[in-house]
Structure 1
Amino acid sequence: DPHSNYLAQVTDEAGQEGFSLPQHLDIIEAGGSKPWLQFDWVWDEDEFLGLAEYIAAPYDPATDTQASKPWAYKRHAAGRTAAPIDSFGTILMEFGNENWNTAPS
């Protein structure tokens, strides 16, 4: 489903349909703002836990592994060594069932 917002898709560098969570966070940080992120409520428990790890877990290559912290590893391997929560301090998160916008940009 090209319009589903599954964690693996939204955290890929290429993003979903060309826009990713990492890109979104970079733009927000460059603008000096605080993130307000919206996600589908249909994600399963593992995806929500993975999102929390991606956003907030530290990753130390000396002690952590891809197996122990897969989402923090993915973020770190992409060059984002600090957890986004450390950069922003506050991240608003909203979960809903109407999170898409198919209007042309």
Structure 2
Amino acid sequence: QAMDILGISEHVEVLVAMEDTERHKPDPTPLLLALDRMGRSANGAVYVGDAVVDVLAGKAAGMDTVAVTWGAGLPEPLEAVRPSAVVTTAGELRFALLG
């Protein structure tokens, strides 16, 4: 539903639930499974999350990462793990993903 509000649903090809893998973030297994299901590599893929474990998993999978500061995320801890971008609004997220 949040993806519909942001207008990005059409850009999301697959979702992976916690039940789909035995290993969980910050392990990259769930992200690698998503890439595999799409038949894609990490090159050019972007993982968006609101927690440090999200950024760590994305980086471990070889993906660009965008950290959002709403939800669980606070700017300082997210910036400390060096995502590709940190965004504070839905508009910034849209720009980070779509340009």
Greater helix fraction, Structure 1 or Structure 2: 2
Q: Give the alignment's TM-score, normalised by structure 1.
A: 0.28
| Rg larger in structure | 1
Q: Give the alignment's TM-score, normalised by structure 2.
A: 0.29
- Which structure ranks higher in relative contact order (CA pairs < 8 Å, sequence separation ≥ 6)? 1
